[in-house]
Structure 1
Amino acid sequence: MAGKTHDFLMVSKSILPEAILKTAKVKELLAQGEVYTIHEAVELVGLSRSAYYKYKDGVFPFYEASRERIITISLLLENKAGVLSHVLNFIASVKGNVLTINQGIPLQGVANVSISIETAGMADTPENLLAGLGEISGVRKIEVIGQT
């Protein structure tokens, strides 16, 4: 079908079948240069070559899916001076490009903030970006709400 687009889901690893998890591991081993052939990689993880070829084009880690894309995150921030500034400074420190910021009026000591970030050229993976944001004092919750 011409113009077909791919639909993606964000799914917890804990519910995926073993063959899909092993396919992701094979791709990781190949990308990191730990093995040089698909044969070596599938042998190492205990996956058949046919299963690898069946899933290889549909399985990739979150950071790979997010590279050179825009991710939109929702944050729940404490209503304290400097919290949003720390968030923005951290994003800048990993070379994320902030495209939009929307902040709601603080209610009951917290404010909802959504930020769209262009990830092309980032010095780190989006996963590490999210982990780093979660360590900032005053950040109560982070959720990825969209990717393009």
Structure 2
Amino acid sequence: MRERRQFYVVDKKVLPEVFLKVVEAKNLLEKDKTLTVQEVAERMGISRSSFYKYKDAILPFYEKGKGEALTMLIHLQDERGRLSDVLNCIADAGANILTINQMVPMNGIAIINLCLQTFNMKSEIEDLISQLEELEGVQEIKILARE
């Protein structure tokens, strides 16, 4: 039986320095695809083995500075392509989908729960909601949370 992973939110001030260096190394590798792990490890003053040991165990936590998180429920006609239209509208607006959950459709209506990150949006949230409401098949949109 697989052991269930547990996660903790910890202030970075109490983390060992190697963890912070691994996070920075991951950021450098993401920004500059020409760098190797060896080059980044040397630059950060850590060993390659430390990088590989911790790289998959240290995950970023969503930061409020990265834009608002918007959670909404969309009541959508259960017809082919309707969800795709909604997702394309969100992508075109520059929002990033953090989570999506669709309930089993009942009486021809699917209820979609979406959480969006708005950091890179090209327009205001209200404009996106108006665009979504105009899509064929969208019955109702309820905003559950704005964080």
Structure-2-length-normalised TM-score: 0.55
- Cα RMSD, aligned residues only: 1.1
Q: Distance in 2 between matches of 1:84 and 1:138?
A: 9
Counterpart of 1:114 in structure 2 is: 113
1:32-43 pair list within 5 angstroms: none
Count of aligned positions = 82
Alignment of 1:91 with 2:90, yes or no, is yes
Alignment of 1:144 with 2:113, yes or no, is no
Q: Distance in 2 between matches of 1:78 and 1:123?
A: 27
In the TM superposition, what is the alpha-carbon distance from 1:68 to its structure 2 partner? 1.4
1:1-148 pair list within 5 angstroms: 68-148=67-147
Q: Distance in 1 between matches of 2:107 and 2:93?
A: 31
Structure-1-length-normalised TM-score: 0.54
Paired residue secondary structure (1:93)? helix
Among the aligned pairs, what percent are the same residue?
A: 34
Question: After TM superposition, which residue ranges in structure 1, 4 or more long, deviate above 6 angstroms?
Answer: none
Q: Distance in 1 between matches of 2:104 and 2:129?
A: 23
In the TM superposition, what is the alpha-carbon distance from 1:81 to its structure 2 partner? 0.3
Gapped regions of structure 2 (runs ≥ 5):
1-65
Larger Rg: 1 or 2?
Answer: 2
Q: Distance in 1 between matches of 2:82 and 2:71?
A: 18
Q: Deviations over 1:8-37 (max 9, x none)?
A: xxxxxxxxxxxxxxxxxxxxxxxxxxxxxx
